[in-house]
Every structure is written in C-alpha cells, then in structure tokens.
Amino acid sequence: ENKTAMVYQATASAPVNIACIKYWGKRDTKLILPTNSSLSVTLSQDHLRSTTTSRADPSFSKDRLWLNGKEEEIVAPGRLATCIAELKKLRKELVEDKDESAPKVIADSILPLFALLKMIIQLSTVPVHIASFNNFPTAAGLASSASGFAALVSSLAALYALPCSPSTLSLIARQGSGSACRSLFGGYVAWEQGVLDDGSDSLAVEVAPRSHWPEMHALICVVSDDKKGTSSTSGMQRTVQTSELLQHRIKHVVPKRMKEIEAAIKAKDFDAFAKVTMADSNQFHAVALDTEPPIFYMNDVSRSIIALIVEYNRVAIEKTGKRKAAYTYDAGPNAVIYTLQENVKEIVELIVKYFPQKDGFKDPFQLFAGGSVG
C-alpha cells in the first residue's frame, strides 16, 4: 500500500425526469443528437433518484463500474466509456489551463505540497471506481438511465472539481443517454435539439426552477414492473427509419408545443400545461404505432387510467372550465399523472378506488410514489 498516494472520492445524486414533450428519434446515434427538442419535469430528490460515488486511487488498475452492486463492463467506444473519457478530458484541460481562478482539487490534506501538485496534474490519469445505486427497483420499468448517467456525470465532475455549469455537463450526460441531459437540472427543463453537427448546442437549459411552481406534483403509477418490450434506443431508430408521422411531428408539431408548454409553465397555467402534455404523450404513442413493425408501450390498464383522467377532467371542465390532471406515458405501460397539490388526495383516492391494490409489488397496479417535483 502506498501511504503517500492520495485518494479522492465524490458522491452525487440525480433524480428521474419525466418528459411532457417527448424525445423520440436521433439524428446522430453516436453523439445522441435528437430529431426534436423536448421538455421535462425533474422529480424531487426525495423520491426516485440515482446516487453515484466515484473514487480515484492510483492503486486501481483500471476504470470499473458497479450498478446496484453488479459490475458493468466499460468498453470503448460505448456510452459509459465516452462519458468517463469526456470528463477526464475536461479535468486535463482544467489543469493545463493557466487561469489561476479555476478551482483545483480540494486541498484539505496534510500532504506535502509537491505531492498535492503532482496529484492535481495527474488526477485525470488515475483509474476510477464508480458505484451507482437507484433508490427504486430498476425492474419497475421506470427510466433509470436518465438519473443514472446524470448522477455519474455529476459525481465525476465533483471528483475532478470541474467548474462547469449544469448545461455544460448536460452535453456529456446526453452522450450517456439522451434523456439524462435533462436530469442535470431540477424543476422544468428543456433539451434544445441544437443545429450543429458536433452536438455542442444540443444541451439542457432550465425553463423554471422547482420553486417557481412548487404546487406541481407527479404521481407515478406502476402498472407493470415487466422490463420486456422494445428498448427506447432501438425503438426510436426504427421510428426514424419508417414513420412518416414522425416527420410531421418533428417539423410541424413539436416546435409549436415547446413554445406553448414553456409559456404555460412561466404563467403557471395548469390547464394549458395539461392539454399539451397529454397531447404529446398521445402523439408519441401514435408514432410508436406508426413504426414498422408497430411498437405498443401502453396496455389495457394504461388505457383505463387515460379514460379515468379524461372523465375526471371532463367533470372539472364542466365545473370550472379547467383541467385538473394530466397523464403521460413513456416507453412502457406505467402512468405518470401530473396534478397540483390540492388535487393529489382526490386523485389517489380515485385511482385506489378503480384499481384496488393487493399486497405485493407484482400486482397489476400499484401506486408507487407520489411526491413533489423539482
């Protein structure tokens, strides 16, 4: 054991995000550049999140990663290897940068200065071990790649003391999984598709912080914990290759909806937010159906929940002229229901009434988590 060698470690968490305007389709599969912009709400840190610890130690022989305790291979030029290499590159550039104001590694060490300086220069060459855990069952079919890659990038950025903005880090998280770039921010987040071929303008930006609209809640309803089905990565490329409806969506629908939902969020107009969120979930599942061969993500329980929310909103519109809830579905049958705090109890009771729950996680329907977003 080399007692003089320094060991650096950093831990970071990132929550899951749920898209209101869906990302579906890549124009560059290596850099993960999307065919349209998207917008999501990041859940609160208290609920579904990934936590990742990175440690650099000169005694390690190579970079290694464990996901929920199980080792995953890091193979170049795969997504994990790309993200780690990009962050090491930024670390190397930081040290080479002559700007003395740039933060260097935390110097709370009693080591002689020369040893510290040597470590600062070499940290990007020291192997890292990375351990990541989800605080929710990966098998629940809930997107774990978004929180996972966001936490990985945040943890390495902290390890390397990178003075980067979340938007800059989102450029790297995007290369791990497209939707991960949006989990670098809390609250309401847009992923701007960008126009450049090198992807340097395809990044996440904050539309509004969580504190702007703290009444917003997301109810996550686990309809099935079955992981089988078409993966997002392969499904969306089949859609790009075969769906004419996707071309219409990219050109004529999403740009307008991005403006509408950003305005709805800024004005805290739940009715407008709900209308566009449900319309975009519907169109995402329509382009999946328009794919050859067709892709089905929702099941009968998913469709029953849609019917329930439609009826709930019909009554609300009759009384007040406004919607009170919005459903949205990703690449699986689980429902996410957006609503304001004042309606949470009513909606939970409604769902429990129509979808009675038995004990155990394997039940056809289980209300998994309800909580504030942001």
Binding flag, residue 126, ligand 2P0 (CB under 6 A) = no
Binding mask 181-220 for ligand 2P0 (x = CB under 6 A): ----------------------------------------
Where does this chain touch ligand 2P0 (CB under 6 A) — which range of 5-13, 18-26, 215-223, 255-263?
A: 18-26
Supply the minimum distance, in Å, between the C-beta of residue 123 and ligand 2P0. 28
203 by DSSP, 3-state: which? coil
Among 330, 347, 368, 369, binds ligand 2P0 (CB under 6 A): 330
Using alpha carbons only, what angle is made at residue 80 by residues 226 and 61, rounded to the nearest 5 degrees?
Answer: 120
- Compare residues 303 and 345 and give the one whose CB is closer to ligand 2P0: 303
b/e per residue 201-240 (b: at least 16 CB within 10 A): ebbbbbbbebeebeebbbbbbbbbbeeeebebeebbebbb
Binding flag, residue 233, ligand 2P0 (CB under 6 A) = yes
Binding flag, residue 177, ligand 2P0 (CB under 6 A) = yes
Binding flag, residue 19, ligand 2P0 (CB under 6 A) = yes
Where does this chain touch ligand 2P0 (CB under 6 A) — which range of 65-73, 161-169, 175-183, 255-263?
A: 175-183
Binding flag, residue 331, ligand 2P0 (CB under 6 A) = yes
Binding flag, residue 134, ligand 2P0 (CB under 6 A) = no
Pairing state between β 128-134 and 64-67: parallel
Binding flag, residue 290, ligand 2P0 (CB under 6 A) = no
Among 35, 36, 37, 38, binds ligand 2P0 (CB under 6 A): 38
Nearest C-alpha neighbor of 149 from the set 184, 125, 124: 184
Supply the minimum distance, in Å, between the C-beta of residue 57 and ligand 2P0. 30
Nearest-10 Cα torsion for 292, 297, 299, 305: -130
- Compare residues 24 and 273 and give the one whose CB is closer to ligand 2P0: 24
- Compare residues 25 and 374 and give the one whose CB is closer to ligand 2P0: 25
Asked if 210 and 374 touch (Cβ cutoff 8 Å), the reply is yes
By rule CB under 6 A, what count of residues binds ligand 2P0?
15
Supply the minimum distance, in Å, between the C-beta of residue 40 and ligand 2P0. 6
Using CA of residue 210, residue 84, residue 165, residue 6, what is the dihedral sign? positive
Binding flag, residue 178, ligand 2P0 (CB under 6 A) = yes
Binding flag, residue 249, ligand 2P0 (CB under 6 A) = no
Binding flag, residue 90, ligand 2P0 (CB under 6 A) = no
Cβ neighbours around 289 below 10 Å, total? 15
In sequence order, what are the residues at sequence separation of 6 or more whose Cβ sits closer than 8 angstroms to the Cβ of residue 58? 2, 5, 126, 127
Where does this chain touch ligand 2P0 (CB under 6 A) — which range of 21-29, 95-103, 209-217, 241-249?
A: 21-29
Supply the minimum distance, in Å, between the C-beta of residue 301 and ligand 2P0. 18
d(CA 11, CA 130): 10
Binding flag, residue 283, ligand 2P0 (CB under 6 A) = no
Nearest C-alpha neighbor of 17 from the set 36, 37, 53, 45: 45
The structure tokens listed for 91 are 């670390």
Nearest C-alpha neighbor of 180 from the set 188, 189, 190, 170: 170
Cβ neighbours around 359 below 10 Å, total? 7
Residues that bind ligand 2P0 (CB under 6 A): 19, 22-24, 32, 38, 145, 177-179, 232-233, 284, 330-331
